[in-house]
Amino acid sequence: MATPRLRRELEQALENVRHRTEGEASSYLSDVSDEQVDALGAAICDTDGVVTTAGDCDHVFPLQSVSKAFAYAVTLQEIGLEEVLAHVGVEPSGDAFNQPSLRRDGRPFNPLINAGAILTHGLIPGGTDGAREELLLATFSALAGEELEVDEEVYAAEAERADLNLSLAHLLAAEGVLPDDPREVVRGYLRQCSINVTAPQLAVMGATLAGGGVNPRTGDRVLDEGVVTQTLSVMMTCGMYDASGQWVAEVGLPAKSGVSGALVGVVPGVMGLTAYSPRLDSQGNSVRGIQLFEELSEQWDLHLLRHREPLAGLREARGER
């Protein structure tokens, strides 16, 4: 149930970070007409489907790299873990997201850096970029419980800046691992990054992961539980680019950020939490978003690695009741 106190605390947390006006918005935003670099919003969706919002929650923004986590889930759901792992690893790269980091066996380190995300996008079944996009949009919409769309203006801005991503795709093609034409896959990947959401819609997507793959607003099972566990594991270790280790230590939640300033975190079994604020730090993460998560993790005791009583299953195995 939405409680006034939860809303007040979310609003207060937002006010606590509002003064952080350092950092620059990503360059693609300068080509987008309704650019609002100081927009600030946050939203929660719990696993009962109750949404709590604060700040600019009607503002739409592209998922950008946040899409990588959900696209990984789509690919796992469609072709299975074994097939995905044969192509893309699950190790943090320690490098910036757009570096050509490939493991010695030619696989990208993980699906949340660009090389891995481009390949993961290419693994979505369908055979053409149109078919891949259709499946991706249908699943993202089911995760959000609302119809989502590609923002053509954002896509055009992304397409203008595609050199590095094209070079990564050509590298993958040279390794012989890319299933389709590099230009087609990059086009599809950039359109995936350009899918628009609001903070509450993204919170519902996060809550669907928190609920083990069932959308708490629609009741639909969108992903299998195993797919969710795999996705959250990679978000936990690799979700915040080369700041992932520090994030786990300070916030302790699986999460994913994007250069739009979007950030989604998942508290398994409990809720999806999102923040949106476009000014970025040097790693490409939202300055205010990070502080908001740090404060709320502390205040609401969300860190998953905090000391807790032994788990029920372990107690039972030890013969305790």
Binding site for ligand GLN (CB under 6 A): 64-65, 97-98, 114, 158, 165, 190, 193, 258-259, 284
Q: Minimum CB separation from ligand GLN for residue 24, in Å?
A: 14
Residues 6 or more apart whose CB falls under 8 angstroms from that of 303 comprise: 251, 252, 253, 297
Percentages (nearest 5) of helix, strand, coil residues in the chain: 50, 10, 40
The residue among 158 and 242 lying less far from ligand GLN, judged by its C-beta, is 158
97 or 293: CB nearest ligand GLN: 97
Classify residue 213 by burial, with Cβ atoms within 10 Å: 0-12, 13-18, 19+: buried
Residue 12: CB minimum distance to ligand GLN, A: 28
Give residue number: closest CB to ligand GLN.
65
- Residue 194 Cβ vs ligand GLN, minimum distance, rounded to whole Å: 8
- Between CA 40 and CA 48, with CA 42 as vertex, the angle to 5 degrees is 165
Give 41's strand partners: 55, 276
Report in angstroms how near the CB of residue 112 gets to ligand GLN at its nearest.
9
C-beta neighbour count of 138 within 10 angstroms: 14
Are 284 and 257 within 8 A, CB to CB?
yes
Would you say 145 or 278 has its CB closer to ligand GLN? Answer: 278
Q: 107: left (phi > 0), else alpha (psi -120 to 50), else beta?
A: beta
Residue 76: CB minimum distance to ligand GLN, A? 20
Residue that has been written with the tokens 């590099």 in this structure? 182
Least distance (Å) from ligand GLN to the CB of residue 119?
13
CB of 26 to ligand GLN, least distance (A): 7
Calpha distance 261→284 (Å, rounded): 8
At closest approach, how far in Å is the CB of 94 from ligand GLN?
Answer: 16
**Cβ-based neighbour number of residue 271 at 10 Å:** 25
State the number of CA atoms in the 13 A half-sphere of 222 facing the CB.
Answer: 34
Of 65 and 244, CB closest to ligand GLN: 65
Cβ distance to ligand GLN smaller for residue 113 or 209:
113
Residue 53 vs 237, nearer CB to ligand GLN: 237
Q: Which is nearer to ligand GLN, 169 or 248 (CB)?
A: 169
Task: Return the number of the residue (247 or 271) whose C-beta is nearest ligand GLN.
Answer: 247
What does each C-alpha distance from 146 to 112, 138, 215, 261 come to in angstroms? 24, 10, 11, 21
